Structure 1
């Protein structure tokens, strides 16, 4: 590995934040321009749903291979390539001449996003010392800023510009980030010859890593069902208006962003175990408020607590992975992120079946189940680490 003098940690952290900010923007882009795409390509609901299924397939692919590539060839080439691919995806979504090209562009878009998400987290874990979880929490703030800021920016720009023009602007931003990455130094590859397949496959036998991976399976699926089903629950079960339900959902992202900011600064010295215990308490209070809410204010408060409660999962668990598997951190990150995204896809699909068959009220039931499973996994992880 390279010596610390070969690169500037502050510059690298800023670079990682730029990448994850870009990922936050990218992840919300498809949903934000879906109406325009449906009108432009005359898509029905089923065809539109297929587009949303292609994005996680791309994310999964990018998450699968970024780690071994980073460990063998370093971060720079992969991150620069991913930003160029993301710019290509933005442009393709904006100007695709056919549905086939649109689908391909969305896959490339997801592929690049998966690479950027994984590689930026991995590089921050590599350059951090004992405060990996805290630094990853601060990194996560940039994702929240991108995810929170995009709807407001689009709301303003849509009054004056078409969605292809806006997406072209996002492509230019992605290319500027690629240029930034070209101009700075990254850590050297951890592996200088070949690929240690035996060690890589050996990770699959490590029970601690697998427990962390399935914790993030629950964490990712939890974030998915909160983001995708909360508004339906609030509108159909709590009689909130569409606009109030969306405002309440924004409070969830705000709560997550605020908690990650606190974890990376004021709570920096608090152990990961205590942060997660506190997070479980916040999340439980959020579920209870959401279940019993009879007003917009209570729903807003509940989702703020929900967001704060799920904020610590990814930064803290990825921090543990980075500390425990420093020699193959990229590959280890790939493994846990692939399992996490799989959870996002499967449980979100399961929630659709449950809502259709038994009613949207079981959204709350699934939140309780996820929380219970995560507590059990948390106990097992820290027992084995100890």
Structure 2
């Protein structure tokens, strides 16, 4: 018999590891560039392989955990990430590096989706709060990789540090093998990838997926374009230090992590709809501040507000999905994350064209535009959920 707190801790360990995955390539790309004499095009190829792997992992995990349970899927994904990190640390082959990045991405995609689905499965009645708490561990993992490299690089070589992090992956893998998990929800012949496509027939699921696609796009904009916006717009050619640019990114990521920690308590007492409205409002104020003035202090405040505002949507919408599909949560979360990741790539690619044509100063306008679309989609989701719960019929 499984114990929900032990299972939830397994999900937290997996999400922490996904945070490491998310920042892994950015943390070691200089190491790889020097070892293999990679140019920007080759580095660009590597950066494309990581989200591709995450997308593949997100697509695959759902039907597997619904059929066979979480134990071996989580342990295998953790070991895949560890093996990939060991490869990055020691390989002398460019092809192996590319394979390692792809494997790390696939393992990370499985960890991201499966931990969210697992947390939803063992958190009935408090899904939004515990999914928000789960997101805190992503922030911890994301900050751990670059911080560990920065702190220990004075004493050890980067390959040694990366290999040690890869070896540490054995801890969550062993933990997952040692505890009991909820039993599989479906027979082996009851779950398939086609089930994810069938879910799109449900308007609530479809609009929730589109809302998360836009939300994921905004999170991608805040992660990928923040430093460039500060460099090109806030400082606009004036002298600045690299840490001043990185501080904007830290402000966004740190505010999101702290906000999710606070939401773990707030969502136990406050209606999700009110929290969603406040979240959208904070993000709008932050994006508007980016447009109002080029001053650095104001930009940092805007980054904090955007990070805090973006924190609530994913855990709340995922809690809705967990409530709607408790008997096939793996497949539902798999499909929803594929939609979200596709939106992330599409929004960021679109803004690349916008920035090329009109300048990166359109960052705030793009954020506000995405926010308006997100608000409409989330309103539709909430309204349809209200109709479903108030209807006496099935």
* TM-score, normalisation: structure 2: 0.94
Are 1:312 and 2:312 an aligned pair? yes
Q: Which residue does 1:244 correspond to in 2?
A: 244
Unaligned runs of at least 5 residues, structure 2: 387-394
Q: Which residue does 1:3 correspond to in 2?
A: none
Are 1:327 and 2:327 an aligned pair? yes
Q: Which moved more, 1:49-58 or 1:167-176?
A: 167-176
Q: Per-residue displacement from partner, 1:321-359 (whole Å, max 9, x unpaired)?
A: 000011111000000100111111122122212111221
CA distance in 2, matches of 1:78, 1:256: 28
CA distance in 2, matches of 1:241, 1:200: 47
Q: Per-residue displacement from partner, 1:152-184 (whole Å, max 9, x unpaired)?
A: 222111222222111111111111110011100
Q: Per-residue displacement from partner, 1:10-42 (whole Å, max 9, x unpaired)?
A: 111111111111111121011011111111110
CA distance in 2, matches of 1:234, 1:191: 50
**Aligned with 1:145 (options 122, 140, 143):** 140
Maintained 8 Å contact 1:355/1:361: yes
**Aligned with 2:107 (options 112, 134, 137):** 112
Report deviation, 1:367.
Answer: 0.4
CA distance in 1, matches of 2:215, 2:24: 22
Maintained 8 Å contact 1:73/1:189: yes
CA distance in 1, matches of 2:333, 2:264: 20
Q: Which moved more, 1:360-369 or 1:197-206?
A: 197-206
> Superposition pairs for residues 28-39 of structure 1, below 5 Å?
28-39=23-34
Q: Which runs of 4+ in 1 moved over 6 A?
A: none
SS of equivalent to 2:180: coil
Q: Which moved more, 1:189-198 or 1:124-133?
A: 189-198
Are 1:124 and 2:110 an aligned pair? no
CA distance in 1, matches of 2:98, 2:217: 24
Q: Which residue does 2:295 correspond to in 1?
A: 295
CA distance in 2, matches of 1:23, 1:293: 36
Report deviation, 1:375.
Answer: 0.4
Q: Which residue does 2:373 correspond to in 1?
A: 373
The alignment of Structure 1 onto Structure 2 pairs a total of residues equal to: 381
Q: Which residue does 1:13 correspond to in 2?
A: 8
Maintained 8 Å contact 1:204/1:210: yes
Maintained 8 Å contact 2:63/2:191: no
Report deviation, 1:295.
Answer: 3.1
* TM-score, normalisation: structure 1: 0.96
Q: Which residue does 1:52 correspond to in 2?
A: 47
Q: Which residue does 2:226 correspond to in 1?
A: 230
Report deviation, 1:299.
Answer: 1.7
Report deviation, 1:383.
Answer: 1.0
Q: Which residue does 1:341 correspond to in 2?
A: 341
Q: Which moved more, 1:53-62 or 1:143-152?
A: 143-152
Maintained 8 Å contact 1:231/1:242: no
Q: Which residue does 1:80 correspond to in 2?
A: 75
Q: Which residue does 2:205 correspond to in 1?
A: 209
Q: Which residue does 1:284 correspond to in 2?
A: 284
Q: Which residue does 1:264 correspond to in 2?
A: 264
Report deviation, 1:199.
Answer: 5.0
Q: Which residue does 2:391 correspond to in 1?
A: none
Maintained 8 Å contact 1:248/1:296: no
Report deviation, 1:68.
Answer: 0.4
Report deviation, 1:200.
Answer: 4.6
Q: Per-residue displacement from partner, 1:69-111 (whole Å, max 9, x unpaired)?
A: 0000000010111011111110111122211111011000000
Report deviation, 1:319.
Answer: 0.6
SS of equivalent to 1:291: helix
Are 1:65 and 2:72 an aligned pair? no
Report deviation, 1:151.
Answer: 2.4
Unaligned runs of at least 5 residues, structure 1: 1-5
Q: CA RMSD in A?
A: 1.3
SS of equivalent to 2:360: coil
Report deviation, 1:304.
Answer: 0.8
Maintained 8 Å contact 1:255/1:308: yes
SS of equivalent to 2:251: helix
Maintained 8 Å contact 2:233/2:294: no
Q: Which residue does 1:92 correspond to in 2?
A: 87
Maintained 8 Å contact 1:235/1:241: no
